[in-house]
């Protein structure tokens, strides 16, 4: 008999592998991707484990929730050009811009690919998809190694690392490590929060399965499965039935308010929650297509006759489960007062967004109650480091926060910038041989972390560029033309956006100003920005931050109305498209860099001027739409 017919099982089917890295990131949602990329770009060796076949978490093609953050959407929006520019920068902005230009068709799978490419492009990052962390080994109050399994290839990995970062949302790695955590809602008196319930309970925000429908050129009947929920008009009066003047329901994106499961254990009962959510989605669509039984006489109140279901998820978009206890627990007051944290590593601004745990089973309650946060707030590193495990960090919706504070920090763009902040801090801890537990109280290292985040185009409320190695800060800066409030010297103002407007940064930390150079449109393009030094320098890196319209929404969404508020499917019109960087050699301008077709906000160029230079200039020859050059920051190293 041939070997192909008689293969013998000689041992366990899972093949063991040992991996060594400096940082293990568990969870490949937006927090985990930005965390792993940030750490890898700073030279740390990183392993990223994601238990699904795609990256992105709730933003992936499996769930398709749009990425929202500090600039809000819906009930409360921040956004005014040159006044309140609240959209997140850094890695999440890089991803949004890439997605806008390359994904005009708004394909959820295309965004999966972009995230995959970004992670695979980092030489210091090893990506393990379909791989779940299932156990850890402890050495006292530290994690020594993690065990991860990939059932699809029958492999098991023992991963040795110095720092472990849980970005899994549910917190599987941290829970296996015995890290302290909270679940449910704290009572009003525990943290003196006005928005908390009177008494503590184990209820939480529920989950949602989204759906998409497509319009056809003929009527498309729908017959609901027998197990679908049945809804009457009174069941959906505050959800599906818009009051006069409100936006009418749409079919192309689905219904975020189709929420259920907040009264259950959103981890242990997730299969039950999925089954019921499918019944909810089918029932809502039956109601939309076929009308409330016995009341509409065949009318089509939702104008859905030509619409048919195109996609619906089988993976619930989960809002809440465990929240880990860190060195600091963020509270309602921290966010509403925009507390000034010395260990700030990210910022937020989404409303305190509380939902009834019963979800769609609470028809007499609004699907959400949003309490606007008056100003942008900082998130401290101490809320991202475990209280009882010294080398454990977390980023995403599982950070250290009360249920009320979490209702703001949980949204994905905020999770993403927290991820970049945590990944950056972890890389510094590795370089300086420090435990994460030692970082927040180390003022010197925290300052270095914050300055690195600013260099990488993150924003921190009230913290500005003080990098002594940045030659641009000591240059005399002039331009071919400039506008009032947008002078050439603004490129070294230390801040790369305006946040002094309504609902921007809090008073005393807003730092008013245009915070960019803008050429006079009457001069047209080419426009020139020049830096000159009394003592010649030897530049090896030039970094430019361009205007990308941070006052606007920009995120992948299947919702046509929301997308109409954006400049989607293109480069942002404010952004410099074509430019050169030149140095003066005698009477000749020598090009160091020439770029055509730029659409990114942050561009870093390694340069070799061959000798010391006294004068350098950036020449802008085209933008992606506006009739003037705009540069928010220039750095020279």
- Is it the case that residue 7 has pLDDT exceeding 60? no
pLDDT for residue 246: 53
Q: In what order do the strands lie in the sheet with 163-166?
A: 125-128, 46-49, 23-26, 163-166, 392-394
Region for 457 from its dihedrals, namely left if φ exceeds 0, alpha if ψ lies in -120 to 50, beta otherwise: left
Tokens of 583: 């140095």
pLDDT for residue 11: 65
Assess whether 577 and 524 both reside in one domain: yes
pLDDT for residue 9: 58
Query: Which of 428, 455, 482 finishes a domain?
Result: 455
Sign of the dihedral defined by the CA atoms of residues 36, 41, 46, 51, in that order: positive
- Is it the case that residue 237 has pLDDT exceeding 50? yes
Q: What is the DSSP letter of 228?
A: S
E strand or H helix at 318: strand 317-318
Spatial separation of the C-alpha atoms in residues 202 and 323, rounded to whole Å: 12
Q: What are phi and psi of 570, to 5 degrees?
A: -160, 170
Spatial separation of the C-alpha atoms in residues 184 and 265, rounded to whole Å: 9
In the chain, the N- to C-terminal Cα span, in Å, equals: 69
Q: What is the pLDDT of residues 390-421, one digit of tens each?
A: 999 999 999 999 999 999 999 999 999 999 99
- Is it the case that residue 609 has pLDDT exceeding 90? no
Assess whether 420 and 475 both reside in one domain: no
What percent of the chain is modeled with pLDDT above 70? 96
**Average confidence score pLDDT of the chain:** 95
Residue 371 forms part of a structural domain: yes
pLDDT for residue 523: 80
Rounded to the nearest angstrom, the gap between the alpha carbon of residue 308 and the centroid of all alpha carbons in its chain is 31
What percent of the chain is modeled with pLDDT above 90? 92
Assess whether 173 and 215 both reside in one domain: no
Residue 2 forms part of a structural domain: no
Residue 529 forms part of a structural domain: yes
Calculate mean pLDDT across residues 462-485.
97
How many structural domains compose the chain? 3
Assess whether 58 and 106 both reside in one domain: yes
Assess whether 47 and 136 both reside in one domain: yes
pLDDT for residue 590: 95
Q: Vertex 518, ends 515 and 523: CA angle to 5°?
A: 170
Q: What is the pLDDT of residues 365-379, one digit of tens each?
A: 999 999 999 999 999
**What predicted TM-score, i.e. pTM, was given to this entire model?**
0.96
Domain of 450 in residue numbering reads as 15-185+324-455
Confidence of residue 245 (pLDDT cuts 50, 70, 90): low
Tokens 């009394």, located at residue: 534
Assess whether 264 and 218 both reside in one domain: yes
Residue 6 forms part of a structural domain: no
Assess whether 307 and 398 both reside in one domain: no
- 3-class secondary-structure state, position 383: helix
- Is it the case that residue 87 has pLDDT exceeding 70? yes
Rounded to the nearest angstrom, the gap between the alpha carbon of residue 532 and the centroid of all alpha carbons in its chain is 38
Burial class of residue 154, CB neighbours in 10 A (0-12, 13-18, 19+): exposed
- Is it the case that residue 244 has pLDDT exceeding 80? no
Q: What is the DSSP letter of 328?
A: S
Assess whether 56 and 144 both reside in one domain: yes
E strand or H helix at 623: strand 613-623
Q: What are phi and psi of 117, to 5 degrees?
A: -60, -45
pLDDT for residue 205: 98
Residue 513 forms part of a structural domain: yes
E strand or H helix at 616: strand 613-623
Assess whether 593 and 622 both reside in one domain: yes
Calculate mean pLDDT across residues 163-178.
98
Calculate mean pLDDT across residues 602-613.
92
Calculate mean pLDDT across residues 561-582.
97
Residue 500 forms part of a structural domain: yes
Assess whether 55 and 171 both reside in one domain: yes
Q: What is the pLDDT of residues 313-363, one digit of tens each?
A: 999 999 999 999 999 999 999 999 999 999 999 999 999 999 999 999 999
Calculate mean pLDDT across residues 50-79.
94
Calculate mean pLDDT across residues 155-159.
98
Nearest-Å Rg of the Cα atoms of the chain is 26
Assess whether 530 and 431 both reside in one domain: no
Q: What is the pLDDT of residues 285-322, one digit of tens each?
A: 999 999 875 444 556 788 899 999 999 999 999 999 99
By mean pLDDT, which of 220-234, 261-275, 299-313, 547-561 is the weakest?
299-313
Q: Strand pairing of 76-77 and 15-20?
A: unpaired
Q: What is the pLDDT of residues 484-534, one digit of tens each?
A: 999 999 999 999 999 999 999 999 999 999 999 999 998 888 899 999 999
Q: Which CATH number fits the domain that encloses residue 399?
A: 3.50.50.60
């Amino acid at each position: 008999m041939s070997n192909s017919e008689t293969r013998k099982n000689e041992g366990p089917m899972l093949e063991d592998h040992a991996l060594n890295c400096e940082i293990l990131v568990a969870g490949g949602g937006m927090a985990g991707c930005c965390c792993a990329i940030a750490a890898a770009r700073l030279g740390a060796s990183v392993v990223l484990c994601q238990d699904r076949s795609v990256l992105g978490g709730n933003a992936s093609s499996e769930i398709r929730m749009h990425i929202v953050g500090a600039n809000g959407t819906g009930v409360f929006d921040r956004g005014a050009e040159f006044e309140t520019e609240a959209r997140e920068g850094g890695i999440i902005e890089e991803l949004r811009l890439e997605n806008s230009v390359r994904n005009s068709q708004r394909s959820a799978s295309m965004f999966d690919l972009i995230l995959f490419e970004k992670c695979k492009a980092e030489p210091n990052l090893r990506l393990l998809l379909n791989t779940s962390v299932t156990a850890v080994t402890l050495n006292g109050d530290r994690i020594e190694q993690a065990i991860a399994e990939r059932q699809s290839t029958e492999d098991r990995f023992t991963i040795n690392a110095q720092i472990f970062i849980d970005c899994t949302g549910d917190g599987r790695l941290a829970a296996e490590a015995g890290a302290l955590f909270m679940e449910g809602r704290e009572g009003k008196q525990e943290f003196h929060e006005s928005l908390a319930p009177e008494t503590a309970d184990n209820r939480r925000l529920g989950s949602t399965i989204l759906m998409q429908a497509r319009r056809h050129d003929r009527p498309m009947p729908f017959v609901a499965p027998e197990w679908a929920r049945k809804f009457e008009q009174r069941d959906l009066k505050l959800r599906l039935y818009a009051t006069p003047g409100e936006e009418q329901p749409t079919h192309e994106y689905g219904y975020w308010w189709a929420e259920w499961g907040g009264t259950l254990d959103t981890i242990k009962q997730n299969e039950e929650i999925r089954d019921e959510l499918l019944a909810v989605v089918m029932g809502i669509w039956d109601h939309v297509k076929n009308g409330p039984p016995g009341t509409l006489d065949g009318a089509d109140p939702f104008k859905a006759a030509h619409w048919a279901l195109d996609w619906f998820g089988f993976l619930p978009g989960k809002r809440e489960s465990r929240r880990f206890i860190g060195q600091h627990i963020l509270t309602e007051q921290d966010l509403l007062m925009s507390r000034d944290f010395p260990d700030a590593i990210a910022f937020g601004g989404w409303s305190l967004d509380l939902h009834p745990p019963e979800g769609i089973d609470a028809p007499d309650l609004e699907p959400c109650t949003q309490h606007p946060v008056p100003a942008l707030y900082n998130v401290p590193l101490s809320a991202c480091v475990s209280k009882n495990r010294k080398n454990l960090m977390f980023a995403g919706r599982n950070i250290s926060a009360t249920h009320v504070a979490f209702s703001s920090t949980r949204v994905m763009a905020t999770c993403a910038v927290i991820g970049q902040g945590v990944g950056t801090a972890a890389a510094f801890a590795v370089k300086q041989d420090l435990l994460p537990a030692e970082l927040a109280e180390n003022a010197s290292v925290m300052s270095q972390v914050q300055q690195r985040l600013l260099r990488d185009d993150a924003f921190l409320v009230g913290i500005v560029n003080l990098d002594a190695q940045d030659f641009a800060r000591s240059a005399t800066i002039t331009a071919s033309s400039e506008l009032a409030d947008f002078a050439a010297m603004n490129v070294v103002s230390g801040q790369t956006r305006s946040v002094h407007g309504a609902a921007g940064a809090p008073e005393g930390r807003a730092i008013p100003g245009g915070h960019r150079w803008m050429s006079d449109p009457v001069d047209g393009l080419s426009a020139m920005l020049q830096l000159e030094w009394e003592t010649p320098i030897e530049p090896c890196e030039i970094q430019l931050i361009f205007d990308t319209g941070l006052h606007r929404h920009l995120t992948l969404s299947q919702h046509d109305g929301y997308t109409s508020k954006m400049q989607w499917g293109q480069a942002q019109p404010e952004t410099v498209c074509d430019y050169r960087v030149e140095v003066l050699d005698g009477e000749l301008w020598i090009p160091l860099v020439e770029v055509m077709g730029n659409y990114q906000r942050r561009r870093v160029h390694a340069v070799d001027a061959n000798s010391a230079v006294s004068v350098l200039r950036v020449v802008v020859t085209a933008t992606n739409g506006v009739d003037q050059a705009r540069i928010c920051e220039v750095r020279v190293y």
